Structure 1
Amino acid sequence: MNKLLFLFLFPILIFSQSELNDVNDLFQKKQFVKAEQIIIEFLRSNPNNIKAIELLGDAYGHQKKWNEAIHQYKKLVNTQKNNANYHYKHGGALGMKALSVSKFKALGIIGDVKRAFLKAAELDKNHIDTRWALVELYMQLPGIIGGSKSKSLKYANELEALSKVDGYLAKGYIWEYDDEPELAEKYYKMAIAEGGSLTCFNKLTNFYKNQKQPQKAIKNIEATQQNHQRNALHYQIGKVAAEYNIQLEKGERCLHTYITNYSAKDGVPKAWAHYRLAQINTHKKNKSEALKYINLAINKLPEIDIFKKQRQNILNL
């Protein structure tokens, strides 16, 4: 159900009313509580504004307030019965709620999740996100409550008809989930050949990591770097090298490159690169260098427990 997390990332943010001019900026800044307050105030005088209701549901979703999000999306599907995206969002919020409660309670929700997604798929034959959600839902559900690989493959085929890249990625996901690594690798590679996006490369890298094939993971990250030239990929190589104790010299070089060229858009704080350097030097039994880097990491992010554990490991060398 991880795909469902992405349904809250792209809300409708355009409003003609001046009262909501700031909402777009608040979403971009991830200030969802403030956005929620503005929308609620707006809805007091405009209770039937469809866009505002949807945006309030999105704001709740970002905060993982699933019951509140479901309530807003339910309003939308009740008044806009033929809008596929509203059914999709309603199903997504229900699905996320199912993941957050006990298995017993989740059983009472799954039927509504399926109905919402199936309705969205019926209403919009081109709705890619809904078909992705159905691929994941049918794979993850136990057979006794409606899980089905054949149904999952059906929606993967529909995805492929709409977008070859999405279809190949969906089939890679299905075969990886079904413990058929050769078929999964095949389809992830087909996605790269077809689209070559960073997402495609990352899917294959994560597959290799999950399969405990770090050498292949590093090779694929290097191919990604050749195609996309992202500094963050230097960190990824260093991370794999540090975690699996392989290609340590290459990992060390990449981490230093990452630190030298670091900017906020790279995402992973430099402290984590220092932690990986400490790991690498621990593998190399270089205690003084390892301590130097772990101390740099702890100084920047003192609340991270794994850094403190690594420091103790180094002291025990």
Structure 2
Amino acid sequence: MKFTLYFFSFSLVAFGQSDFQKTEQFFATKQFSKAENLMISYVKSHPNDLSGIELLGDAYGHQKKWDEAIESYKNLVELSPETANYHYKYGGALGMKALSVNKIQALGIIGDVKEAFTTAAELDPKHIETRWALVELYMQLPGIIGGSKNKSLKYAEELYRISKVDGFLAKGYIYEYDKDFDAAEKYYKLAVTEGGSLHCYEQLTNLYEAKNQPELMISTMQAALNKHRSNALNYQIGKVSADYKIQLDKGAMHLQHYLENYEKEDGISKSWANYRLAQIHKLQKNKVEALKYIDLAIGESPRAVAFKKERVAILKL
């Protein structure tokens, strides 16, 4: 099983200005233990403040302190039983707890997970995250303890009525999980047509990776790049080219584009782009260029073992 918890922003009205600013800063900089300490103090002084309790639960969740998160979210459910999002977060924390214990203990938790998610879905007919959680839950649970493809499809249909793209993605997920790759491809393509977000393209690309179809991976990423102009896709195209030894000139071109347009936010360091360029030039038997790029990679990341091994391989050309 897997669950994704969405931690929402909190209201300025609910906190003193200084507490709000400090907590917001702690979350933004991933200093969750400091946010936890601040909110423990706040909740002690304001034991019925829903926003404060929720934020404390979120701080616990980010640190994988599932027992503490469960306690906070359960408190929210008891204080405000008609709020769907509280049931959703409570179910999510329970689900993550189930993943962290042995199978026997997990079996005792799953019923509460399903109840929390189902309650959230009933309270809010448009709660997308809860329906996604139910799609995943019923697909991943063994049939003997309530897993059901039909129930997953039921919630995928509910997602479709709320958001067509989410419905298509959910069905793609279901069929991919069930190893029906043709059906999964159909729905991921519909999601790309309907929504066209980077996430939609990523799901289709990942499917082609699972099917070992690198040419289609590259064409899908190229289509995404044409639409979204995400520099990270230049690197990904080059990586697939190097890994699968295909479309080498195209891969080298995209890696050069990545380096020319590189910003820290792109996520992959320049050293890895140079490493991939070295791989491509090695495959093309271009020793001089391969050494040039692997030396650049090593110069930027001198401790990277993979880079040093690649240099040894290049020297053998």
Does the pair score TM above 0.5?
yes
Q: Is residue 90–residue 116 contact of structure 1 (8 Å, CA) maintained in 2?
A: yes
Which residues of structure 2 form unaligned runs of 5+? none
For residues 149-164 of structure 1, the aligned pairs below 5 Å read 149-164=149-164
- CA 1:165–1:157 in structure 2 vs 1: closer, same or farther (change >3 Å)? same
Q: Report the Cα distance in structure 2 between the residues aligned to 1:160 and 1:128, rounded to whole angstroms.
A: 10
For residues 240-255 of structure 1, the aligned pairs below 5 Å read 240-255=240-255
Q: Report the Cα distance in structure 2 between the residues aligned to 1:272 and 1:13, rounded to whole angstroms.
A: 41
Q: How many residues align?
A: 315
Does residue 12 of the first structure (1) align with residue 10 of the second (2)? yes
Does residue 199 of the first structure (1) align with residue 199 of the second (2)? yes
- CA 1:173–1:43 in structure 2 vs 1: closer, same or farther (change >3 Å)? same
Which residues of structure 1 form unaligned runs of 5+? none
Q: Report the Cα distance in structure 2 between the residues aligned to 1:309 and 1:73, rounded to whole angstroms.
A: 49
SS of the residue corresponding to residue 82 of structure 1 reads coil
- CA 1:99–1:303 in structure 2 vs 1: closer, same or farther (change >3 Å)? farther
Q: CA deviation at 1:313?
A: 4.6
Q: Report the Cα distance in structure 1 between the residues aligned to 2:219 and 2:168, rounded to whole angstroms.
A: 21
Q: Report the Cα distance in structure 1 between the residues aligned to 2:285 and 2:40, rounded to whole angstroms.
A: 58
Q: Report the Cα distance in structure 2 between the residues aligned to 1:94 and 1:304, rounded to whole angstroms.
A: 39
Residue type matched to 1:151 in 2?
K
Q: CA deviation at 1:309?
A: 4.7
Range with bigger deviation, 82-91 or 289-298: 289-298
Q: What TM-score results when the alignment is normalised by the length of structure 1?
A: 0.92
Range with bigger deviation, 98-107 or 287-296: 287-296
Residue type matched to 2:28 in 1?
Q
Instruction: Among all aligned residue pairs of Structure 1 and Structure 2, give the percentage whose two residues are the same amino acid.
Output: 59
Q: What TM-score results when the alignment is normalised by the length of structure 2?
A: 0.92
Range with bigger deviation, 138-147 or 32-41: 32-41
Q: CA deviation at 1:38?
A: 1.8
Deviations, residues 180-232 of structure 1 (Å, cap 9, x unaligned): 11111110111111111121111111111121111001001111111111111
Tell me the residue number matched to 1:144.
Answer: 144
Computed over aligned residues only, the root mean square deviation of the Cα atoms, in angstroms, reads 2.0
Q: Is residue 13–residue 55 contact of structure 1 (8 Å, CA) maintained in 2?
A: no
Q: Report the Cα distance in structure 2 between the residues aligned to 1:27 and 1:305, rounded to whole angstroms.
A: 34
- CA 1:135–1:287 in structure 2 vs 1: closer, same or farther (change >3 Å)? same
- CA 1:307–1:44 in structure 2 vs 1: closer, same or farther (change >3 Å)? farther
SS of the residue corresponding to residue 4 of structure 2 reads helix
Tell me the residue number matched to 2:62.
Answer: 62
Q: Report the Cα distance in structure 2 between the residues aligned to 1:213 and 1:169, rounded to whole angstroms.
A: 20
For residues 254-265 of structure 1, the aligned pairs below 5 Å read 254-265=254-265
- CA 1:157–1:280 in structure 2 vs 1: closer, same or farther (change >3 Å)? same
Tell me the residue number matched to 1:277.
Answer: 277
Residue type matched to 1:16 in 2?
F
Residue type matched to 1:12 in 2?
F
